[in-house]
Amino acid sequence: MRPRLALVPGEPAGIGPELIVRAAQQDWEAQLVVHGDAATLHRAGDALGLPIALHRSGESPRSPRSLELVEIAHPAAAAFGQPQPANAASVVASLRRAAQACFTGGCHGLVTGPVHKGVINQGGIPFTGTTGLLATLAGCEVVMMLANPGMRVALQTVHLPLREVADAITADALGSTLRIVDQALRRQFGIASPTIAVLGLNPHAGEDGHLGREELDIIDPALERLRGEGLSLVGPLPADTAFLPGKLRGFDAVLAMYHDQGLPVLKHADFANAVNITLGLPYPRVAVDHGTALDLAGKGMADPSSLFAAIHTCTQFARHRMHA
């Protein structure tokens, strides 16, 4: 049985719809169920000069590559590169409907395209991002992990101003994050005994307290307690050498203390094939690792590699869960 993946295009004025059109030209090991607006997808297909066949649930596909569609219409036709706040509710509704399909078992995983947080807020809906919405709907704590074929990087803090990061590094927060990462590596990635590298917060991991005491006072004691629970943890490590290839080979994932400590390395290594994975949800969720790219929308220049990698990764996760 092929897994069914809910696929959400995201912002209708961005590159998300045309990436779906690109995906519709491929054969996949999963059944893709698009939650979105048919008119937007057809408009993207026309701009690219590519066909996209869609069928509703229960209808017979008219072609082998037809995608099943759960219609969530946008009230305003969005020209390429010109997002409309009037579509905020329908964009969020597509995410909610897709998540609900995963909750009820109608789909086995969720793949999401890029949304525009600012435009959704302009439309009158308080919105901090797709990850936060999905965590709220599921009522659980989650961890953001970015991955490419060469490395996996989870984040202890995400979109915080740098001056607030140190105060957010607590023993309880580290414990919660590392337990979620450890369980995800076992359950989603199928790694029986994962090893996680934990980066220090300060340069040289604090240099024995001379460059900051967070490692000595918070991170080290927290790691010791978690090792007592059976977690295999290495660190805290100096971030400037932790990503050397020889060291990375010994780790199944790296936990960075803040956004720009870990992600520049991963994106420099292979941005095109990077994906954004939400750990801790009751179903697999994988997103593209890029934004709406409004300046590229409708021009046929958008690289679909991240979406393709997200579909492939989510398919693997869904299959692993289906056969667990």
Reported as a single tens digit per residue, the pLDDT across 109-161 is: 999 999 999 999 999 999 999 999 999 999 999 999 999 999 999 999 998 99
Q: Which amino acid is present at 190?
A: G
Q: Indicate the burial class of 149 (C-beta count within 10 angstroms; 0-12, 13-18, 19 or more).
A: exposed
Are residues 267 and 295 both part of a single domain?
no
For residue 237, what are its two tokens? 């490590």
> Tokens 């996760």, residue?
317
Q: 188-235, pLDDT tens digit by residue?
A: 999 999 999 999 999 999 999 999 999 999 999 999 999 999 999 999
For residue 92, what are its two tokens? 């969020």
Are residues 196 and 104 both part of a single domain?
no
Going by pLDDT thresholds of 50, 70 and 90, the confidence category of residue 249 is very high
Sign of CA dihedral 42, 45, 51, 55: negative
Question: In the prediction, which pLDDT does 62 show?
Answer: 82
CB 15 within 8 A of CB 80: no
For residue 172, what are its two tokens? 């309880």
Are residues 116 and 248 both part of a single domain?
no
Q: What is the SS3 assignment for 135?
A: helix
Are residues 263 and 201 both part of a single domain?
yes
Using the predicted structure, report yes or no on whether residue 283 has a pLDDT greater than 80: yes
Going by pLDDT thresholds of 50, 70 and 90, the confidence category of residue 58 is confident
Going by pLDDT thresholds of 50, 70 and 90, the confidence category of residue 322 is confident
Question: In the prediction, which pLDDT does 223 show?
Answer: 98
Query: What's the whole-model pTM score?
Result: 0.94
Q: What CA–CA distances, in Å, run from 122 to 66, 83, 297?
A: 34, 11, 21
Are residues 81 and 166 both part of a single domain?
no
Residue 34 belongs to domain with CATH number: 3.40.718.10
| Number of structural domains in the chain | 2
Length of the chain: 324
4 beta partners = 31
Angle 174-159-15 from CA coordinates, rounded to 5°: 130
Range of the domain at 59: 1-139+283-324
CB 36 within 8 A of CB 69: yes
> Tokens 């069928």, residue?
55
Percent of the chain with pLDDT over 70: 100
Are residues 14 and 122 both part of a single domain?
yes
CB 309 within 8 A of CB 274: yes
> Tokens 């490419």, residue?
148
Are residues 20 and 135 both part of a single domain?
yes
What is the C-alpha to C-alpha distance for residues 266 and 264, in angstroms, rounded to an integer? 6
Secondary structure (DSSP) of 153-210: EEESS-S--HHHHHHH--HHHHHHHHHHHHHHHHHTS--SS-EEEEE-SSGGGGTTTT
Using the predicted structure, report yes or no on whether residue 324 has a pLDDT greater than 80: no
Are residues 88 and 126 both part of a single domain?
yes
Are residues 120 and 9 both part of a single domain?
yes
- For 305-320, what is the mean pLDDT? 96
Are residues 229 and 318 both part of a single domain?
no
Q: Indicate the burial class of 258 (C-beta count within 10 angstroms; 0-12, 13-18, 19 or more).
A: buried
Are residues 109 and 230 both part of a single domain?
no
Least confident stretch, 49-63, 114-128, 130-144, 267-281:
49-63
Q: Which amino acid is present at 83?
A: P
Q: What is the SS3 assignment for 128?
A: coil
Are residues 146 and 249 both part of a single domain?
yes
For residue 108, what are its two tokens? 């086995």
